[in-house]
């Protein structure tokens, strides 16, 4: 009995250390990118600067909160391993401690899932606002479909997290992958609309002989497609982790799942922040063209 408890505690601790390690590394990367984005925004007058800076601040707060939750879980798993390795502790007492820890795991897991859904919603809202700015006078009509997809994705995410983590923790009564699949669709729609609008504007510039702006628009399309592709890959990464489950027990699967869960929340923040930094590093656009560069 004691050996089984120790083995379970050891596996759980390794999982949490893997999650915390990748989360700390990517969290540091995200923090540096957020600081760079704030600095760059403070030095240039960009359309929607205040909204972009607020979004960066919210994503940074959510990333730090999720990282704090993960560190708390890791410290608890280490404490449980210590109890399991203490020879004078009764097995019944260890089982009680393990059951108590599982309940706490479910609570913190619910908080992490809600933070992840919120993170994804803020990132998608930022991409939607970017699309809104770029479409100019047509923005109200074009933005309707992406906004509806964003609301549906967010609602699915919260309902799934509430169903799995609060109503029936561990029972997986709802498939979390559906919400993230909708998030991929939302991102593809937003990226297609935004890149398509920039491509059409570039085409018009060529028609009127304004070739000096063509390269900048081509670069903007490349950045959009890159950020959209990386963001979709991060969501696919999360879906794969959900497919294996939060508590996989085999060696390779355990490592992959732990790394995926540790990286998920940070990647959702890093991609839009990195996009903003790359846009800010570009040379300032002409006054009447700036809306297409954010």
The CATH number of residue 192's host domain is 1.20.1070
**Total residues belonging to the chain:** 294
Are the C-beta atoms of 146 and 102 separated by less than 8 Å?
no
Output the furthest CA–CA distance in the chain (Å, rounded). Answer: 84
Q: Using one digit for the tens of pLDDT, what is the confidence trace for 132-184?
A: 888 876 767 788 888 898 899 888 888 888 887 777 655 556 677 788 888 88
Q: Using one digit for the tens of pLDDT, what is the confidence trace for 243-265?
A: 765 544 455 566 777 777 778 77
- Distance (Å, whole) CA 124 – CA 185: 11
Give the DSSP letter string of 236-268.
HHHHHHHHH-TT--SHHHHHHHHHHHHHHHHHH
Q: What is the pLDDT of residue 31?
A: 92
Dig out the tokens for 49 from the structure: 């600067």
Least confident of 35-39, 108-112, 138-142, 269-273: 138-142
Q: Could you tell me which residue, 37 or 282, shows the higher pLDDT?
A: 37
Q: What is the pLDDT of residue 208?
A: 53
Q: What's the number of domains the chain is made of?
A: 1
Q: What is the pLDDT of residue 288?
A: 43
User: Residue 135: CB partners within 8 Å, gap ≥ 6?
Assistant: 142, 143, 193, 197
- Distance (Å, whole) CA 85 – CA 108: 24
Residue ranges making up the domain that contains 174: 2-293
Q: Could you tell me which residue, 244 or 229, shows the higher pLDDT?
A: 229
Are the C-beta atoms of 190 and 148 separated by less than 8 Å?
no
Considering the entire predicted model, what is its pTM? 0.78
Question: Is pLDDT above 80 for 220?
Answer: no
Are the C-beta atoms of 273 and 34 separated by less than 8 Å?
yes
Nearest to 189 by CA among 135, 137, 238, 243: 135
Q: What is the pLDDT of residue 290?
A: 44
Question: Is pLDDT above 50 for 74?
Answer: yes
Burial of 31 (0-12, 13-18, 19+ CB in 10 A): middle
Q: Using one digit for the tens of pLDDT, what is the confidence trace for 114-124?
A: 888 888 888 88
Question: Is pLDDT above 70 for 67?
Answer: yes
Long-range pairs for 41-50: beta carbons < 8 A, 24 or more residues apart: 41/276, 41/280, 44/280, 44/284, 46/279, 46/280, 46/290, 46/294, 47/133, 47/290, 47/291, 47/294, 48/129, 48/133, 48/294
Q: What is the pLDDT of residue 11?
A: 76
Q: What is the pLDDT of residue 92?
A: 63
């Amino acid at each position: 009995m004691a050996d089984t408890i120790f083995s379970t505690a050891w596996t759980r601790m390794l999982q949490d250390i893997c999650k915390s390690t990748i989360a700390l590394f990517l969290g540091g990367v995200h923090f540096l990118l957020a600081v760079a984005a704030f600095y760059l925004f403070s030095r240039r007058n960009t359309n929607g600067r205040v909204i972009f800076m607020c979004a960066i601040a919210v994503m940074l707060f959510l990333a730090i909160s999720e990282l704090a939750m993960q560190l708390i879980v890791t410290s608890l798993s280490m404490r449980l391993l210590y109890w399991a390795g203490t020879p004078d502790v009764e097995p019944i007492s260890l089982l009680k401690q393990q059951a108590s820890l599982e309940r706490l795991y479910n609570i913190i897991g619910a908080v992490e899932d809600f933070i992840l859904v919120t993170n994804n919603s803020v990132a998608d809202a930022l991409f939607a606002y970017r699309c809104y700015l770029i479409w100019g006078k047509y923005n109200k009509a074009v933005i309707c479909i992406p906004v509806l997809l964003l609301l549906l994705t967010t609602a699915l995410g919260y309902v799934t997290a509430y169903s799995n983590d609060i109503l029936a923790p561990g029972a997986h009564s709802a498939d979390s992958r559906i919400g993230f699949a909708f998030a991929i669709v939302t991102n593809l729609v937003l990226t297609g609309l935004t890149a398509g609008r920039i491509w059409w504007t570039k085409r018009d510039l060529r028609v009127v002989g304004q070739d000096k702006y063509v390269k900048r628009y081509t670069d903007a399309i490349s950045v959009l497609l890159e950020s959209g592709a990386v963001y979709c890959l991060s969501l696919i990464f999360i879906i794969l982790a959900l497919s294996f489950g939060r508590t996989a027990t085999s060696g390779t699967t355990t490592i992959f799942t732990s790394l995926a869960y540790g990286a998920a929340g940070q990647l959702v923040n890093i991609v839009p922040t990195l996009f903003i930094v790359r846009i800010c590093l570009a040379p300032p656009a002409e006054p009447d063209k700036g809306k297409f560069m954010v």
